[in-house]
Amino acid sequence: MRRYKVHWGAFGTFMTVILGSTMVKFYYAQNLLPWYAIGLFIGFFGNLAVRVAGTIAGGRVGEGLLEISAYSGTAHAAEGDNTSEERVGTTDAPADEGPRLAPPLP
C-alpha cells in the first residue's frame, strides 16, 4: 500500500485556480481585464493558425506539430522512457519494506 503519495495533478490544478483567480482580480482592479481577454483571444487563434499552417505545409513541420499534440506520457513506457512508474522513490515492493529511495549524496 502506498502512503503519503502526493497527487501532483490535484496540487497543480489547485495552484492554477489560485493563480488564475488572483490574476483576474488584479486585472479587474487595474481596469486591464479587456486587454487580458484580447491577449487570450489572439494567443488562442495564433496557436490555431500555426498548427493549421504546419499541418498544411506537411513534411517535418507538420509531423512535429502532430506528434506534440498527440503526446501521451505513458505511450513510450515500453521504449524505456522515464515514466512516473519508473521514477526513483516509487515502488511496487510490499508495504513492510518501504519505498526504495535514491542513495544519499556524498
Nearest to 27 by CA among 16, 38, 15, 13: 38
Task: Indicate whether 57 belongs to any domain.
Answer: yes
- Which of residues 24 and 95 earns the better pLDDT score? 24
Task: Indicate whether 82 belongs to any domain.
Answer: no
Q: What is the pTM of this model?
A: 0.44
pLDDT digits (tens, 9 = 90+) for 24-82: 999 999 999 999 999 999 999 998 888 888 878 776 766 776 676 666 555 554 555 45
The whole-number pLDDT of residue 79 equals 52
Task: Indicate whether 81 belongs to any domain.
Answer: no
Nearest to 54 by CA among 44, 68, 43: 68
The whole-number pLDDT of residue 95 equals 55
| Structural domain total, the chain | 1
The whole-number pLDDT of residue 56 equals 83
d(C-alpha 35, C-alpha 52), whole Å: 26
d(C-alpha 102, C-alpha 91), whole Å: 12
Q: Which domain holds residue 33?
A: 8-71
Task: Indicate whether 77 belongs to any domain.
Answer: no
Contacts of range 102-106, beta carbons closer than 8 Å, 24 or more positions apart = none
Place of cell 488572483: 22
d(C-alpha 52, C-alpha 30), whole Å: 36
